[in-house]
Structure 1
């Protein structure tokens, strides 16, 4: 994947997350600034998504840790580099634990 394709995949993923948050009836706020999506939970904790262009990864920072995702073309989704867990599953866990909100992400 070249840099342009990577940036488009990250943009699409972050846009999908924003749309889901907009449609949900929650007290979560978010800010998207320069490819960094910061979700602000009701308890004022943050879940932060960042693009890491040099390594072609999407990074996620949460209370439970920092996670790095590579895009897998075979399964058409982002997979955590440490154990191949899909981004959807990790987000479900992170948002449930940190924000007290349950989402079914379809990224």
Structure 2
């Protein structure tokens, strides 16, 4: 994949995550905030825990850091999959956000 292709796919994903945070804040009682700086989104919950999603352009990866650990994702032609077989990015983000918020949250494409 070329760098411009990676950036296009990665930007689409970051916008989906931002939209997901906005939807959760609008449709639920969950106190969730997201801040984007360049290729990094920091999601902050009421308990002050955070999840960070950031682009790693030289590696063509997206990294996710949460209380549950750190994960690296690559695009397989259809979706962003963990490089160590731990699943799809938005599913893992949903799980981590649910754990940190204390309620079920869902991020989707």
Same fold (TM over 0.5): yes
User: Given the alignment, which residue of 80, 83, 91 partners 2:82?
Assistant: 80
Deviation at 1:2, TM superposition (A): 0.8
Which residue of the partner structure matches residue 96 of structure 2?
Answer: 94
Any idea what SS the aligned residue of 1:82 has?
coil
TM-score (norm 2): 0.89
Q: Higher relative CO (CA 8 A, sep ≥ 6), structure 1 or 2?
A: 2
Displacement, 1:28? 0.4
Aligned to 2:106: 104
Matched with 2:6 is 6
Q: CA deviation at 1:105?
A: 2.3
Identify the residue that residue 44 of structure 2 maps to in structure 1: 40
Q: Distance in 2 between matches of 1:17 and 1:34?
A: 14
Structure 1 stretches of 4+ moved >6 Å: none
RMSD: 1.2
**How far 1:93 moved relative to its partner?**
1.4
Which 5+ residue runs of structure 2 have no aligned equivalent?
A: none
Q: What is the Cα deviation at residue 13 of structure 1?
A: 0.6
1:13-49 CA distance string (max 9 Å, x none)? 1111111111222210010001110001111111000
Structure 1 unaligned segments of length 5 or more: list them: none
Is residue 2:78 matched to residue 1:64? no
